[in-house]
Amino acid sequence: MSNATVFRRKITPTERLYFFTRTVTPPFVMHLAVHGDGSLDPAALQRAVDVASAANPGARLIRDGDEWVDCGLAARVRHVPGWSLNYAALENDAVLNTPIGPTPDRTTEVLLVTGEQTTVVFRAFHGVMDGMGLRVWVDDVFRVLRGYPPLGAPDPIADAELVARIGAPGRPTLVLPTFKAATGRGRQNRTAARWLLRHRTINATGKGIVARVAAILAAESGAKSRFMIPVDLRRHDPALRSTANLALPLFLDVAPGESWAAISTRMRSGLREKRELDQLDNGRLSKFPPGVIRGVLRTSNWAGARLNRNLVSATVSHMGTFDLDEMAVPGWTPTGVRVLPQHSGAMPLLFAMVEAGGKLELSVSCRNGAGIEARLEALLDKIAARLEAELAPHEVVVR
């Protein structure tokens, strides 16, 4: 294969920052876990990953200078027998905290975890793909497992190229460390986990989930809050098939007591105005020397932990609905899908949500510190109870 025909693309400013974030909050990996009953053949899973990855070369990338290049090798399927994910304290999970293998330059991996359930865990360094890109690859793996051809994502396009083509309608949002997090502040202990990773299954689904969560968080913080809402840029080009980083933030400032409906209205307005396109390389941080970038990330983490002064109060992301029936294979029936977000030193809370089987699966990465764990657990309980109360179907009384 000639060098001209190998899939490659430029590393974008967003992705360059993720290399530095990985040094501050390793391994900076997104996880998508699919739990199921029954068994899966490791060799069959590896074959499906091979075929799907060939159709989605963004899942086979390694770094070559200023570019990502397809190495031609699919993610390794690593079988982990006798193991189950501990959702009570995921931050301590010995498997999830391992680097992606088998070699340091690889950027994706698949775990086949066979403990209480048979779980497939897809892992990706955020520098090569965003959450929806991860989903494109995962969907194709399950298509192949079910005997269907992959849809594929052959386009070597990421956020910088797409924004350059579409154009930014306005100016970047001024981002300053002035916002409180609902979990408050707490000095970090070097001997304890510096970031928590927790989960809740919420027995309800419905409209306005992101806005509802933002409203709860703002009320709990007791101060004007700013939320970063990742927006999938693929919406601007429905024909685009790419697994790359194609998400930019829509910033929403929310006052305590503001209704979720009002927040949702402003979200829709921001989307109509395409305001997320303004945020590429906001602040030009990627242009600074590596030492400065790492210093900014560590200082942001310190200011958030000690002073509760954050660039944003939280990131709130929703990756849509999964159809469990479309992921079933003979001998194995999926029971749930969960997305586990990466840790970010500059972010106090990072929520990732998906819907599957009539339930909302909510996971959060949270900056840890003195008193934070108890506050986070109480906050998650409140979010779950509120959403179930607001979204659960009401019984119709017939008289």
Q: What is the CATH number of the domain that holds 304?
A: 3.30.559.10
pLDDT band at 272 (very low <50, low <70, confident <90, very high): very high
Q: Does some domain include residue 166?
A: no
Total domains, the chain: 1
Sole residue written with tokens 């990131």: 315
Which pLDDT does position 286 carry in this prediction? 86
CA distance 70 to 107: 11
pLDDT band at 227 (very low <50, low <70, confident <90, very high): very high
pLDDT band at 261 (very low <50, low <70, confident <90, very high): very high
Q: Six-digit token pair at 35?
A: 């739990």
The residue-averaged pLDDT of 256-273 equals 98
Tens of pLDDT, residue by residue over 40-75, are: 999 999 999 999 999 999 999 999 999 999 999 999
Q: Does some domain include residue 1?
A: no
Q: Which domain holds residue 201?
A: 7-152+174-391
Q: Does some domain include residue 256?
A: yes
Which pLDDT does position 4 carry in this prediction? 55
Which pLDDT does position 320 carry in this prediction? 96
pLDDT band at 397 (very low <50, low <70, confident <90, very high): very low
CA distance 111 to 95: 9
The residue-averaged pLDDT of 115-125 equals 96
Q: Does some domain include residue 44?
A: yes
Q: Six-digit token pair at 108?
A: 């994706």
> Would you say 323 and 50 are in contact if contact means Cβ atoms under 8 Å apart?
no
The residue-averaged pLDDT of 171-193 equals 94
Q: Six-digit token pair at 259?
A: 């209704």
Q: Which residues contact 43 (CB under 8 A, 6 or more apart)?
A: none
Q: Does some domain include residue 305?
A: yes
Q: Six-digit token pair at 93?
A: 């999970």
Q: Six-digit token pair at 183?
A: 């979990």
Amino acid at 172: P
Q: Does some domain include residue 161?
A: no
Strands 108-114 and 77-81: parallel
CA distance 137 to 129: 10
The residue-averaged pLDDT of 233-255 equals 98
Q: Six-digit token pair at 318?
A: 């929703």
Tens of pLDDT, residue by residue over 308-322, are: 999 999 999 999 999
Which pLDDT does position 155 carry in this prediction? 98
Q: Does some domain include residue 157?
A: no
Q: What is the mean pLDDT of the chain?
A: 94
